[in-house]
Amino acid sequence: MKSRRGFVALYPGSFDPITHGHEELARRALAVADRLIVAVASTSTHDKHGLFGIDERVRLIEEVFADEERIEVKSFEGLLVDFARQEGASLVIRGLRAVSDFEYELQMAQMNRELWGEIETIFMVPDVRYSFLSASLVREVARLGGDVSKMVSKPVLKGLKSKLKKAK
């Protein structure tokens, strides 16, 4: 059995970009794990119109959690279960905002368990302030000139501004 001191959980996702919702959930997850790896996936099950490159996402998340030494940020290619095994992490944390998330999350959790029987997924509920928030909506609102300053941290806001300026 792994000692409680070294219990590591994975928080996987696309994080394009990381929002306050993700951030709050990751900090909350430290109540159940000693260390958390925020795992930025190169391949997402959701087909998305990406904005930030994988390395840019990692860098932004590192900036957001610069104050928290128990959170580490890594990117991975291929299957989540393979990455989890490689990192010695058998607990996956995912956020559930609404019932609409549930079907997709359940499918993923079951598929992951089918692929690796030792993996466990736990779902955490973000603060109600963030229940409407998604990275895809943040991207869309920012692209259309809306104010997302209450939805993302300062480094992300800066990143969004420079990204969208370059895109013009």
Nearest residue (CB) to ligand PNS, 41 versus 157? 41
Which residue's structure tokens are 């279960």?
81
Instruction: Give the closest residue to 120 by CA, choosing from 138, 108, 128.
Output: 108
Within 10 Å of residue 147's Cβ, how many Cβ atoms? 9
> From the CB of 135, what's the least distance to ligand PNS, in Å?
7
Q: Residue 12 or 159: which CB sits closer to ligand PNS?
A: 12
The token pair that represents 148 in the structure block? 């997302």
80 touching ligand PNS, by CB under 6 A = yes
* Interface pick for ligand PNS out of 8, 10, 12, 38 (rule CB under 6 A): 12
Using the rule CB under 6 A, give the single segment among 6-14, 24-32, 66-74, 141-149 that binds ligand PNS: 6-14
Give the orientation angle of helix 80-87 with respect to helix 99-115, to 10 degrees.
60
Look at strands 71-76 and 35-41 and give their pairing: parallel
Q: Is 110 left (phi over 0), alpha (psi -120 to 50) or beta?
A: alpha
Q: Which stretch binds ligand PNS (CB under 6 A): 27-35, 42-50, 117-125, 142-150?
A: 42-50
- Smallest gap from Cβ 23 to ligand PNS, in A, equals 14
Closest among 44, 76, 70 to 58, alpha carbons compared = 76
- Considering the rule CB under 6 A, would residue 19 count as an interface residue with ligand PNS? no
- Residue 86 in contact with ligand PNS, rule: CB under 6 A: no
Using CB under 6 A, list all residues that contact ligand PNS: 12-14, 41, 43-46, 79-80, 108, 111-112
